[in-house]
Structure 1
């Protein structure tokens, strides 16, 4: 049974290269063919550094909420293990942000992520906007009839759950728009 892992992360800022860190990681594993959720992993992480005000304004996570949480060094091996158990990874803005950030953070602690196919719903779903631009998660969700709850947005596990609903709904609604080796 092929499986897919949808993931999202929240960070202290926009640049891992400039020392920003992951403060929340959320993922849900699904059966690729049925869309059934098989499990989830959600973890807040103590970044051992400050959070940029603009980043905190987006995700609403304060440094006080992260005190006593595991460090990245403790969480990274679990994430690598999860990536090693699936056939495909899905992320919204995964190619442009999440995956490069994650790879930089993994490299920082000397852990390699397994080579897994990735699908980016921001890049692959430009049909969701009238002008064909890459959609925000809100635009993607609304194009498929889902409500985008601003009070829950930018919590990693909420964003993943909504993204995966969009992914599976789009696969069913538009056969052939997402074609991967797993479709065969």
Structure 2
């Protein structure tokens, strides 16, 4: 990308290069016509052309140095930005890993705990322990429904056992 100042410099350099070329053409003409007969006079004749060429050399060197500084500043800005971005990405990665580990520990426990509670209640019922209620709020709707069904089964079984014992007592009393 060329700025207005860059374009002005390029125009000046082009002009100095043109003047340098014209200076040499003039020296060649003067030598051919016999006006310049020695090295010192030829050197003096091209002095203006050499001065014009010096403008171009100095200008290109200064522009190159300026572009180098701008490129180094851009490089530094990009380096700082990429470092900051890398730090953010590493932070997000660590946060994601922590969240994944938490979810991996919490979700299975949230599912296993209600199953263990229902298994314990079913085991107690199978052993004839019908006095202990089955917890009916286990935080997962399907487990809650299963727990309520198990609780109704416990109550029905307890009622059935009570009837059975009453009939057995009535028969033994009779």
Q: Same fold (TM over 0.5)?
A: no
TM-score (norm 2): 0.20
TM-score (norm 1): 0.19
Q: Which structure features the higher share of strand residues?
A: 1
